[in-house]
């Protein structure tokens, strides 16, 4: 096992009706800005619960954060927060609203000329961002319990991220009942997102970390069992609760302690979203089977472990088992209603070269060993055409 430092200060408040606990979580006297998306929280009753819980508090609101939050929109929220002298940010919605909120929290006190620079140099993220909390209504990204923010910039067709301890939510409220009204597409996307988050940290190479392996496998098995239930029975509280907790634990740092991590599929997926507007989970479902196929030798030991422990594929020769587990993974994504081929999203064949070139210009290492090259990226996308 590698050496590691684990830090996670986020308080999780989980269960039925827990939005009512907001008054005890946000310091009294702080002016709050509510940050949300297109208005779904008004349709599902979450907005009413928040306003009732914070009745009498000084509040301003910013609606309009889109899926794959846009830098340009976030800057509007930054301007409002500064003008209103906001002291606390409250995200309400899914990972997009929360990622935007984290960026806003850092950008409000940012003293430089261009806040986008924080995504290229994480040391520029201020040490004193605005404090923030979250009411989560869409389990997927795990942003409710980590210090990451992912934002897209429309003008330059970029999708970038930063990590900072300062933007961990002070608290995250998780009421599975708020997810009952999610459209099937968003539920399915969340399952895929969480599943691939786990694989990025698990399906690499062995460093004798059996606890982390089994924690990762437990999340994968639970997603396989509970995800389809949540789609078939949208108001099945237990299925929704298990799905929500899986998504949080998939990316709160715990299963990544002391193990190698990949994240190349995410890097490729970010480029596909920036260029062609795909949902994040759609890019993962389309790319990850190609990553498994292309990297079957470098991931061989873990692929066989994944095949045996998660999918119970224990007979046949090793190559047959690896073929089978790649197919099982893709079939699982498809069973949720998520396409797994780039052609299904009208992505042109030249996308492979374009994405490979864009990643090469960024100059960051790809893969768990940091040795994936442009030709590898192009080959992976060719496999998924």
Instruction: Count CB neighbours of 14 within 10 A.
Output: 15
pLDDT for 364 beyond 90: no
Say how many domains are in the chain: 2
SS3 303: helix
* Beta-bridge partners for 93: 136
Interatomic CA distance for residues 133 and 10, integer angstroms: 9
Q: What is the pLDDT of residue 39?
A: 83
In a domain, 4, yes or no: no
Residues in a beta bridge with 90: 34, 133
What number of residues does the chain have? Answer: 385
Tell me, yes or no, whether 276 and 259 share the same domain.
yes
Asked which of 178, 194, 214 is the last residue of a domain, the reply is 178
Half-sphere exposure of 372 (CA within 13 A, CB side): 25
Domain extent, residue 52, equals: 11-178
Do 168 and 234 share a domain, yes or no?
no
Token couple for 374: 């442009």
Strands 158-163 and 148-153: antiparallel
Note whether 158 and 210 are same-domain residues.
no
Q: Are residues 140 and 195 in the same domain?
A: no
Residue 25 lies in a domain: yes
From 149, 178, 207, give the residue that closes a domain. 178
Residue 86 shares a structural domain with residue 216: no
Q: List Cα–Cα distances, 220 to 80, 257, 293, 363, in angstroms.
A: 41, 17, 19, 32
Q: Does residue 156 share a domain with residue 70?
A: yes
H or E segment and range at residue 212: helix 210-232
Q: For 332-362, write each residue's pLDDT tens digit.
A: 999 999 999 999 999 998 999 999 999 999 9
If 0-12 CB within 10 Å is exposed, 13-18 middle and 19+ buried, where does residue 345 land? middle
Examine the domain organization and report whether 174 and 264 are in the same domain.
no
- Helix (H) / strand (E) containing 369: none
Calculate mean pLDDT across residues 161-180. 97
Asked if residues 69 and 103 have their Cβ atoms less than 8 Å apart, the reply is yes
Judge if 169 and 245 occupy the same domain.
no
Interval 219-237 mean pLDDT: 98
| CATH number of the domain enclosing 85 | 3.40.50.1970
Residue 11 has pLDDT above 90, yes or no: yes
Give the model confidence (pLDDT) of 238-295 as tens digits: 999 999 999 999 999 999 999 999 999 999 999 999 999 999 999 999 999 999 999 9
Q: How far apart are CA 357 and CA 4, in angstroms?
A: 33
- Bridge partners of residue 92, in order along the sequence: 36, 135
- Residues 202, 174: one domain? no
- Residues 6 or more apart whose CB falls under 8 angstroms from that of 370 comprise none
DSSP code string of 96-133 = HHHHHHHHHHHHSS--SS-GGGGGT-GGGS-SSPPPEE
Calpha distance 272→251 (Å, rounded): 22
The tens digit of pLDDT for each residue in 47-76 reads: 999 999 999 999 999 999 999 899 999 999
Question: Is residue 2 one of the residues assigned to a domain?
Answer: no
Q: What is the pLDDT of residues 12-57, one digit of tens each?
A: 999 999 999 999 999 999 999 999 998 899 999 999 999 999 999 9
Pairing relationship of beta strands 88-93 and 59-62 according to DSSP bridges: unpaired
Q: What is the mean pLDDT of residues 194-199?
A: 98
Q: How confident is the model at residue 178 (pLDDT cuts 50, 70, 90)?
A: very high
DSSP per position, 52-98: HHTTTS-EEEE--PPSS-BHHHHHHHHHHHHHTT--EEEEEESHHHH
Mean residue pLDDT of the chain comes to 96
Q: The tokens of 189 are what?
A: 């996307």
Q: Is 269 helix (H, G, I), strand (E, B) or coil?
A: helix
Banded model confidence at residue 187, pLDDT cuts 50, 70, 90:
very high
Same domain? For 245 and 356 the reply is: yes
Contacts (Cβ under 8 Å, ≥6 apart) of 245: 14, 174
SS3 (DSSP) at 348: coil
């Amino acid at each position: 096992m590698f050496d590691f430092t684990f830090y996670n200060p986020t308080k999780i408040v989980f269960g039925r009706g827990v939005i009512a606990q907001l008054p005890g979580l946000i310091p009294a006297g702080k002016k709050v800005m509510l940050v949300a998306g297109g208005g779904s929280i008004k349709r599902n009753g979450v907005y009413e619960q928040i306003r009732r819980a914070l009745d009498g508090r000084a509040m301003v609101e910013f609606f309009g954060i889109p899926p794959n939050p846009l830098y340009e929109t976030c800057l509007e929220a930054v301007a409002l927060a500064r003008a209103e002298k906001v002291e606390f940010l409250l995200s309400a919605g899914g990972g997009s609203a929360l990622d935007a909120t984290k960026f806003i929290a850092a950008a409000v006190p940012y003293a430089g000329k261009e806040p986008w620079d924080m995504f290229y140099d994480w040391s520029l993220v201020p040490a004193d961002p605005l404090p923030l909390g979250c009411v989560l209504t869409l389990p997927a990204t795990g942003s409710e319990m980590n210090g990451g923010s992912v934002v897209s910039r429309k003008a330059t067709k970029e999708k970038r991220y930063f990590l900072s301890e300062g933007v961990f939510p002070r608290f995250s409220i998780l009421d599975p009942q708020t997810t009952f009204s999610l459209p099937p597409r968003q539920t399915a996307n969340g399952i895929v997102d969480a599943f691939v988050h786990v694989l990025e940290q698990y399906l690499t190479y062995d460093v004798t970390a059996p606890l982390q392996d089994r924690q990762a496998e437990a999340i994968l098995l639970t997603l396989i069992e509970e995800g389809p239930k949540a789609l078939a029975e949208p108001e099945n509280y237990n299925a929704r609760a298990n799905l929500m907790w899986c998504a949080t634990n998939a990316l709160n740092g715990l299963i990544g302690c002391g193990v190698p991590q990949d994240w190349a599929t995410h890097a490729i997926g970010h480029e596909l979203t920036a260029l062609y507007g795909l949902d994040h989970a759609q890019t993962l479902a389309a790319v990850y089977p190609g990553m498994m196929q292309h990297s079957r030798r470098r991931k061989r030991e873990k692929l066989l472990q994944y095949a045996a422990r998660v999918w119970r594929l224990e007979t046949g020769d090793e190559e047959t088992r690896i073929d089978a587990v790649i197919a099982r993974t893709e079939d699982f994504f498809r069973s949720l209603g998520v396409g797994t081929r780039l052609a299904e999203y009208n992505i042109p064949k030249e996308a492979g070269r374009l994405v490979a070139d864009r990643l090469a210009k960024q100059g960051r290492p790809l893969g768990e060993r940091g040795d994936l090259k442009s030709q590898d990226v192009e080959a992976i996308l060719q496999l998924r055409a």
